[in-house]
Amino acid sequence: MTPTTPGSAQLDTTVTPAQLRVAGDWTLAHYTALKQLSDALHGQYDASTRVDLNGLGALDTAGASLLVELLGSERLGQSTEHPDCTLPAADRALLKTVYGALTDFCVPVKAPQANVGIQLLSRIGRAVDAVWQDTLQLLGFIGLILETLVRGALRPKRWRLTPVVAHIEQTGLDAAPIVALLTFLVGAVVAFLGATVLKSFGASIFTVDLVAFSFLREFGVLLTAILMAGRTASAFTAQIGSMKANEEIDAIRTLGLDPMELLVLPRVLALLVALPMLTFLAMLSGIIGGAVVCALSLDISPAMFLSLLQADIGVQHFLVGMVKAPIFAFLIAAVGCLEGFKVSGSAESVGAHTTSSVVQSIFVVIVLDAVAALFFMEMGW
C-alpha cells in the first residue's frame, strides 16, 4: 500500500515574484488539516504570486474544492494552463470541473412569502372556483343523463332490466336493515327528548305530533338520503372508478357501446326506485320507535298513538317527504357516477374521488332539503 503524504502549501518569498508551492496529497483524509492551512494562508499573497502545482500528489474532489477556495478559480485556471505545469491531465480535468461548478453555482433566491391575508383570500378564491367548476360539471352530467334517459325511453329494446334489478337489490334491499334500525333509534331518541321537554309544559301528548311531523316531513327522507350518500354513492364511484383505472370504460367505447347507457342509467334508475321505498320504510320505523317510547314512558297506548296520528297528521306531510326522495336519489346517483368517471388511473385517485362523492352527495342533499323546507313552509304545505 502506497503511503500517503499530507498535503501542504508554502509561500516562498525567496524568489521574485513570490511563489506558492502546493505539494502532497490533497484528499478527504487530510481535509481538517488542509482546511486549517488554507485558512491560515488566506490573505498572505496577492495577484502577482505564482502558484506551483508540480508537487501535488493525490487529489480528490474534497481537496480540489479546498484548492479552489485557497487559490480562486481564475488563478487556478491560469496555473493549470501554464506551460511549466506538469500536473496530470486527470487532475487538471478534476480541478477544472470543480472550479467550473463552484463558479456556476449560485444560492437559490428564496421566493418572497406572500401576506397571510393574501394567502387566505387566494385559498378561498381557489375553493370557490373549484365549487363552481364542480357545479358546472354536475349540471352537464345531469343533462347527459336526461338525454340518455330520453333516448332510451324511445327505444325499449335497449333497456337493460337485469342490471337495474341487480342494483335495486344492492342499493335497496341490502340497505333496508341499517335504514330501519337507524331510523327506529332516532325516532326513539326524538320521542324521548320531546317527552322530556314537553312534560314541563304539561303537553307530553304532543310528542306523538312531534315524532310524526319530524319523520314524515324531514327525518325519514333526510336520514335515508344521507345513508345512501355514504353507502351507495361511494359504491358507484368505486365501481366506475376501478373500471376507469383498468381501462374497461375505454374497452366499452371501443366495442361501440355507450358507458352512460351501460353503467350510469341502470344505477340512476335503481336508486330512483330504491330510495323512495327506503324512505317509506324509514318513516314507518321512526314512527314505530317513537310509539315504543310513548308506550313505555308516557303511557300512550299504540291504539291511542294511532288515533292521535290519524286525527292530527294530514297526508300532505307524508307527500312532502316522499316528493323529495326521487330528487335526492337522482342527485346522489349522478354525483357518485360523475366522480367515478373523474378517476385518473391510480388507487389513490379512486380513494380521493370516493371520498369526494360522499362529501358532495351529503352536501347537496342537506342544501336541497333546507331549500325545500323553506319553500314548503312559505307555501303553507
pLDDT grade for 182, boundaries at 50, 70 and 90 = very high
Residue 83 scores a pLDDT above 70: no
* Residue 173: strand, helix, or coil: helix
Strands, DSSP E only, in the chain? 8-12, 19-26, 50-59
Distance of alpha carbon 162 from alpha carbon 320, whole angstroms: 32
**By mean pLDDT, which of 93-102, 259-268, 333-342, 345-354 is the weakest?**
93-102
Number of residues assigned to the chain = 381
Residue 59, φ and ψ in degrees, nearest 5: -145, 135
Residue 2 scores a pLDDT above 60: no
For residue 17, what is its C-alpha cell? 515574484
Residue 132 scores a pLDDT above 80: yes
pLDDT grade for 171, boundaries at 50, 70 and 90 = confident
Q: Mean pLDDT across the chain, nearest whole number?
A: 83
Question: Which run of H or E residues covers position 46?
Answer: none
| Across 346-371, average pLDDT | 88
pLDDT confidence of residue 86: 66
Strands, DSSP E only, in 60-194? none
Residue 327 scores a pLDDT above 60: yes
Highest-confidence range of 33-37, 63-67, 337-341, by mean pLDDT?
337-341
pLDDT confidence of residue 181: 94
| Across 19-32, average pLDDT | 76
Question: Identity (one letter) of the amino acid at 122?
Answer: S
Residue 367 scores a pLDDT above 50: yes
- Integer angstrom CA distances of residue 315 from 64, 183, 244: 92, 20, 45
Cβ atoms of 241 and 128 closer than 8 Å: no
* Residue 154: strand, helix, or coil: coil
pLDDT confidence of residue 1: 42
pLDDT digits (tens, 9 = 90+) for 272-289: 999 999 999 999 999 999
pLDDT digits (tens, 9 = 90+) for 284-307: 999 999 889 888 888 788 888 888
CA angle, 376 as apex, 334 and 367 as ends, to 5°? 35
pLDDT digits (tens, 9 = 90+) for 90-125: 777 777 777 777 666 666 667 777 778 888 888 999
For residue 123, what is its C-alpha cell? 385559498
* Domain boundaries along the sequence of the chain: 8-104, 123-379
Q: Answer with the residue of higher pLDDT: 63 or 186.
A: 186
Q: Answer with the residue of higher pLDDT: 80 or 240.
A: 240
Distance of alpha carbon 53 from alpha carbon 85, whole angstroms: 7
For residue 248, what is its C-alpha cell? 374497461
CATH number of 8-104: 3.30.750
